[in-house]
Amino acid sequence: MLILLVNALIVTFGHQHRWIVARRVFFCAALSYCFRALCITIFQVPVPSVHTYCAPKTNGTVDIVAARVARMFWSAGIEQLRPRELCGDLIVSGHTLTIFTAFLTFKYYSPKKLKPLVYLYHLLACLAIVSILMARKHYMIDVVLGYTVSTRIFMEYHSLMVSYHDNSMEKNILSWSIWSGVVPFFERDAPPPHAFHNHIEWPSSCPQKIRRSLA
The residues that are catalytic are 95, 138, 142
Q: What is the DSSP string of 3-18?
A: HHHHHHHHHHHHBTTH
Report helix, strand or coil for 177: coil
Distance of CA 137 to the CA centre of its chain: 19
Please list the residues that pair with 200 across neighbouring strands.
15
Q: Which residues contact 199 (CB under 8 A, 6 or more apart)?
A: 15, 16, 111
Q: If we measure between CA atoms, which residue out of 134, 31, 138 comes closest to residue 92?
A: 138
Phi-psi region of 191 (alpha: psi -120 to 50; beta: other; left: phi over 0): beta
**In the structure, how many helices (H) and strands (E) does the chain have?**
8, 0
Angle at 32 between CA 134 and CA 80, to 5 degrees: 45
CA-CA distance, 19 to 13, in Å (whole number)?
7
Identity (one letter) of the amino acid at 172? Answer: N
